[in-house]
Structure 1
């Protein structure tokens, strides 16, 4: 059976006509779906990039994976300009003989759900985030932020409510806010793929030398990952006379603004913004650090955090989304609170026993997200979506 997969992920098409992912939606990820589906059609935005050269590992299409490329846009304004064209493309592609999985939240998933529901076609949803947190104060800078928060939260609740099956990336957080209808099949399975390559053979012994090496991973396209809060915490740590250095892995339009903030707070020499890099290099940076930070304003179940835990790293996170499902209370801080974050970093650095006990605990916890375990839950979800079509 063919799967129609609708996602907010962005793709690019090279001059040779091949489509690549700049995220994790490459052919390696599609393998999990192809165990149950004969082929996949990905419905997503595709940007024409004829002059760019891409690594083969980023290839997102194959003999069994094709695309329904939607006009590329950015933001709500961009979508509204191309809404009619996008709607017509979806209408022509959607019929009752196919299976549908909508990766939500997102504008495209919401629109697809509306079209399918109107036609009486059942669909499954993968719930990977929370717009209530995404549009929380401080997360984005837009005059209509409160309106977006209300509208997209309500839209996601309705989309999930009308679904025939639901896969959540959290164990309970997203389920509570966005429940399915009574009796609808649902399962919890992170979209994180942890395998033997990522999990350390044993947690390393953490010994903080003269300078504490901090690392954080996240896009700077928005302020969801709270890079400004982390920078402010680095400045706050100067009061403790604690020598530390932050490496931020990720790129986006706010990168220059964060550099300006670091200069303003006199900590520019303590922070490196390294941009995007291959996964192997990311793992290398994480493994060579002392503490991993992920103090997001909004989250589903963060892949980067689980990967850092699998490397045997002590981690500090914020009390949002699925992060409290991953870390113990001693490792959590309030979102947006740079002073509390600085205090928590200092607590970790000055307590070697706490630092290493958290490293061991995280390493063991990450094993629960090994792909062998989660793949069984995903397969049950895929099979239920197929059965609903049959």
Structure 2
């Protein structure tokens, strides 16, 4: 049986028809569905490019097919390309396919308007938080927040099977219908190389210097890196020789670099830019003393779990599924540099607490090992195969060209 999965991932397609990813979710990601289904068809936006992008990974092949959708970015391009998008989606699903939609997603919402038959969802984010004040600068932030949140609640109530990347947070805001199959597992998949051999040791002395690291996209301000930059002078005033490395890139980088100059922190902040996932990112984590996640919104943050797997103590904001990973004094409100600086300095002043946090984080991250999550996913996919395979599919997407 084939499973059709929609995603908001954006890919590149070369003239030979091959599909490439420069930002993750390549072929290995989609192979997880083949633990239960023989074939996978991925519905994703594809930009036509003349050649393979630098450092890109192959997406299609070995039982994975990409059904290309028109490339667009933002609501304006979405509306302009809506007729082409509808035409592409009409041929996406065939009788006998199981359907699983990764949400929130404009593509999934359009697809569901005319889908006949049961379907499953993987809830991987929270639009209520994504479009919260301070998390997004989009001029339509308020109506988009209302619309996407309302649609996601309705979609979860209509689905036959729903999985969530959190254990509690998303479930409480977007509950499934009574009788629906539900599961909790993250999209994260950590192999054995991702885990440190042992926790970090108690140094026996409070730190006078502290190397901070954070990881995340800078495409939108919701990662809260500006809050962490604002906290740095407070740490220095408290007597800590604090420095920061940020791993990741995006449109907001120029604004953050300007903030660094305004706060006269040029020697303390380094923007490493885009770094390939896996071992290259782990080098930055292993070189740091403390991981900080200052996000204004999160689902279940992969970057934090990867840092915990390296035995790295962490401080983060109390958003989304983060409280399922950290607790107590390690959580602070979003957008509050004073609270963030206090939590960081308190942890740095207590070497025993730093060592205990390292051990706890490493043990907690084991819940996200590839073997553990593979069992949870396979159980959900088996139930999905039974519950959501439609007998027939009529018109997939309603609306005229």
- TM range, smaller chain: over 0.9
Structure 1 segment 145-184 matched on structure 2, within 5 A: 145-184=141-180
Structure 2 Cα separation of the partners of residues 15 and 240 of structure 1: 58
Separation of aligned partners in 2, 1:230 and 1:102: 34
Corresponding position of 2:398: none
1:245–1:270 CA contact under 8 A, matched in 2: yes
Partner of 1:290: 289
In the alignment, structure 1 residue 110 sits paired with structure 2 residue 109: yes
Deviation at 1:12, TM superposition (A): 1.5
Q: Map of 1:232-381 to 2, 5 A cutoff?
A: 232-279=230-277, 280-381=279-380
Aligned to 2:29: 29
Equivalent-residue separation in structure 1 for 2:157 and 2:77 (angstroms): 28
Q: 1:233 to 1:14 in 2, by over 3 A?
A: farther
Question: Is 1:214–1:292's contact at 8 Å kept on the other side of the alignment?
Answer: yes
3-state SS in 1 of match to 2:125: coil
1:231-284 CA-to-partner distances (Å, cap 9, x unmatched) read 111132232131111110011111111101111111122111111112211011
Deviates more, 1:206-215 or 1:164-173: 206-215
- 1:262-319 CA deviation, whole Å, 9 max, x = no partner? 1111112211111111221101110111000112111111111111111100011111
> Comparing 62-71 with 316-325, which one deviates more in the overlay?
62-71
Determine which structure has greater relative contact order: mean sequence separation of CA pairs < 8 Å that are 6+ residues apart, divided by chain length.
Answer: 2
How far is 1:204 from its partner?
2.1
Matching of residue 42 in structure 1 with residue 63 in structure 2: no
State the shift of 1:87 in Å: 1.5
Q: Write the distance in 2 (CA, Å) between the matches of 1:51 and 1:195.
A: 31
Which residue in the other structure is 2:215 paired with?
Answer: 217
Separation in structure 2 between the aligned mates of residue 294 and residue 269 of structure 1, nearest angstrom: 21
Q: Is the 8 A contact 2:20 2:52 kept in 1?
A: no
Task: Give the equivalent residue in structure 1 for 2:11.
Answer: 11
CA distance in 2, matches of 1:48, 1:78: 16
Cα offsets for 1:194-218 (capped at 9, x unmatched): 2211111111226476531100000
Cα shift at 1:143: 2.4
Q: Deviations over 1:293-348 (max 9, x none)?
A: 11211111111111111110001111111000000222100011111101111111
2:69–2:85: 8 Å Cα contact kept in structure 1? Answer: yes
Structure 2 unaligned residues grouped into runs of 5+? 391-401
Match of 2:191 in 1: 195
Deviation at 1:92, TM superposition (A): 2.1
Mapping for residues 44-193 of structure 1, pairs under 5 Å = 44-51=44-51, 53-55=53-55, 58-116=57-115, 119=116, 121-193=117-189
Change (3 A) 1:361 1:294: same
Shift of 1:86: 0.8
Contact 2:207 2:349 in 1 (8 A): no
Give the deviation of 1:17 after TM superposition: 3.9
Structure 1 position 114, deviation (Å): 2.1
The 8 Å contact of residues 4 and 42 in structure 2, kept in 1 or not, is answered as yes
Tell me if structure 2 keeps the 8 A contact 1:298–1:320. yes
Tell me how far apart the structure 2 counterparts of residues 146 and 385 of structure 1 sit (CA, whole Å).
34
TM-score normalised by L of structure 1: 0.95
User: Does the CA contact (< 8 Å) of 2:43 and 2:92 recur in 1?
Assistant: no
SS of the residue aligned with 1:268? Answer: coil
8 Å CA contact 1:166–1:186 kept in 2: the answer is yes
- Number of aligned positions between the proteins: 386
1:14–1:247 CA distance, 2 compared to 1 (3 A): farther
**Partner Cα separation in structure 2 for residue 55 and residue 350 of structure 1:** 41
Give the TM-score of the pair, scaled to structure 2.
0.93
